[in-house]
Structure 1
Amino acid sequence: MSGWTSANIPDQTGRTFVVTGANSGLGAEAATALVGAGAEVILACRNTVKADAVAQRLGPKATVAKLDLADLASVRSFAESVTGADVLINNAGLMAVPLQRTADGFEMQIGTNHLGHFALTALLLPKISDRVVTVSSGLHQLGNLQLDDLNWEKRRYNRWRAYGDSKLANLMFGLELAHRLRDAGSSKQSFVAHPGYAATELQGRTETVMDFLMKLTNKTPMVQSAAAGAWPELYAATMPGLESGTYYGPTQFFGLHGAPGRNRYKKIADDASVRARLWEESEKLTGVTFDVASAG
């Protein structure tokens, strides 16, 4: 995989991908690369106006569907509309936003980044033939999941810790899904990826001075393009012969940029008991029973 870029994606003709948050940033770049490799791509987005512009640029292989991960009714409606796909890429996300609540009362970051994708994957998995890729972040290292307070109702809100929690939850969910699929004897796979430090619209929504500082940082050589940031999720989504449950990210400059490869992650993510508790709490909060065995 040394030097791997999106130009190395195998031919994807005849395959269908669902990419959440494909209206901009990593998602739009992933969709662009996949269509370029011959795939059909469903751009699952809250902002369908932006998504329509991306789809128009990509041509007839790209279609747009409404999906608001901060609203479980929208998640269910979208899942019902999908007839089938080969790969689901859980790409959409928010970073370090002020305290807000989703339509179902969840803290916005855990609700959008993790719980929305958890419910979506549960509902779509029977229709997915190959694999699921969930996008985490190197900032999952900031996470310290409080499983009795995922929605920050008891703690004083910290937007960066909440982001870290949501990305740690993404990582643990992807690893646990791989474990459960394997135990169920399923041929389906689950991977986790992170983009390193890539310049996207994700930076700029904290409503603090950090927005200005991050925009300045985005112009420095240490930050890679959104197209390069999408490489790890594209690698995990398209390459044959990968080991389910692997965490992929950039391999250069402390995991901030470069070609994708295996990355290390926070040790707590290997704790099967914590992963199981997160799974159970996610089922409870979303009201979605995630029975991997029955998903085929």
Structure 2
Amino acid sequence: MGGWNRSNIPDQTGRTVIVTGATSGLGEATARALAAAGAQVIMACRNEIKAQAVARTMTGNVQIRQLDLADLASVRAFATGVERADVLINNAGVMAVPKQRTADGFELQIGTNYLGHFALTGLLMDRISERVVNTSSLTHFIGRIDLDDLNWERRAYSRFGAYAQSKLALLLFTYELQRRLTLTGSPKLAVAAHPGYAATEISSETENLLEQIVGLGNRLVAQSAEMGALPTLYAATAEVEPGGYYGPDRFNWRGHPTRVNSSAASHDEKTARQLWELSERLTGVEFDI
């Protein structure tokens, strides 16, 4: 698989792909590549004006629809307007921001990165014909799921702890979703990807000295958003293993997509089931699988 790049993307003509957070960084690079390969791409974005400006620079069939993952009413409204899609790419996210709440009272990072995507996937599951791709992160290795305080109501808040928890939650969700699909005999796939260390705008939202440190790392070490998007593009278009996890082939940091390992915590089936049940209660969304 080494060396897989955009030129290896199969012809996407006739396929419809939803990409959340497609106005910048990994999401933009993903949407741009898929549209150029012939897919009808639905850019699911919070900022429609910014999305329109980005879409004008793309080649291919691109549609823009408003979606705020930090507001379940917006998630439901978006899902209502989707007739069908072959692939859902859950890419949008916020990283290491100060403690904030979503419209529904969730901690912003778990609410946006995970619970919003959990709800979106559940609402669209009957109209997704092929696969769901969740974007995780290397930080999931330091993540810890606190089922008793998922939304940081009692714990001392940690920006990176909250981010890592949300990315671990996405992997637990991916693997549990695949187990349930397999159990019912569904041909649909749940897979995950991570970009390694890629320079994107998400790292500019930390609002403190860390932003300057990350910015320096972006200039000296990080690969481009285009390279960081390759594992997601692979997960979305290539022949993949059910429940597979894909990332860069050079020490998980840089390079071309390959199958990678995730933490032991991400494979904890009991925690995955409990997180799923909690997520259904918090979002009010139950999966029809």
> 260, 267, 280: which one pairs with 2:277?
280
Matches within 5 A, 1:207-286: 207-220=207-220, 222-240=221-239, 242-252=240-250, 254-286=251-283
TM-score (norm 2): 0.98
Give how far 1:249 is off: 0.5
Please tell me the residue identity of whatever aligns with 2:17. Answer: F
Partner of 1:81: 81
Q: Is the 8 A contact 2:2 2:249 kept in 1?
A: no
Q: Is the 8 A contact 1:232 1:250 kept in 2?
A: yes
Give how far 1:175 is off: 0.9
Matched, 1:179 2:179: yes
2: CA distance, partners of 1:286 / 1:255: 33
**More displaced stretch, 58-67 vs 106-115:** 58-67
Q: Is the 8 A contact 2:35 2:60 kept in 1?
A: no
Partner of 2:20: 20
SS at match of 2:223: coil
Q: Is the 8 A contact 2:39 2:60 kept in 1?
A: no
Q: Could you say what the CA RMSD is over the residues aligned between the two structures, in angstroms? A: 0.8
Partner of 2:38: 38
Q: For 1:241-289, what per-residue CA distance to the aligned partner results, in whole angstroms no more than 9, with x for missing partners?
A: x21101100010x201101111111101111111000000000110111
Give how far 1:60 is off: 5.3
Task: Write out the 4+ residue segments of structure 1 that deviate beyond 2 Å after TM superposition.
Answer: none
Matches within 5 A, 1:134-153: 134-153=134-153
Give how far 1:59 is off: 4.5
SS at match of 2:100: coil
Q: Is the 8 A contact 2:9 2:37 kept in 1?
A: yes
Q: Is the 8 A contact 1:46 1:67 kept in 2?
A: yes
2: CA distance, partners of 1:288 / 1:197: 33
SS at match of 2:204: coil
SS at match of 1:218: helix
TM-score (norm 1): 0.96
Q: Is the 8 A contact 1:110 1:151 kept in 2?
A: yes
Q: How many residues align?
A: 289
Give how far 1:27 is off: 0.4
Q: Which runs of 5 or more structure 2 residues have no equivalent in the other structure? A: none
| Distance of aligned partners of 1:146 and 1:24 in 2 relative to their CA distance in 1, 3 Å threshold | same
Give how far 1:291 is off: 2.9
SS at match of 1:251: strand
Matches within 5 A, 1:93-104: 93-104=93-104
1: CA distance, partners of 2:21 / 2:177: 21
Q: Is the 8 A contact 2:125 2:288 kept in 1?
A: no
Matches within 5 A, 1:195-210: 195-210=195-210
Partner of 1:116: 116
1: CA distance, partners of 2:122 / 2:177: 10
SS at match of 1:101: coil
Q: For 1:40-82, what per-residue CA distance to the aligned partner results, in whole angstroms no more than 9, with x for missing partners?
A: 1000000111111121112550010000000000000000001
2: CA distance, partners of 1:170 / 1:6: 25
Give how far 1:170 is off: 0.6
Q: Determine what percentage of the aligned residue pairs are the same residue.
A: 57
SS at match of 1:177: helix
Q: For 1:22-51, what per-residue CA distance to the aligned partner results, in whole angstroms no more than 9, with x for missing partners?
A: 011000000110011111100000011111
Partner of 2:155: 155
SS at match of 1:44: strand
Please tell me the residue identity of whatever aligns with 1:138. Answer: L
Q: Which runs of 5 or more structure 1 residues have no equivalent in the other structure? A: none
Please tell me the residue identity of whatever aligns with 1:250. Answer: P
SS at match of 2:117: helix
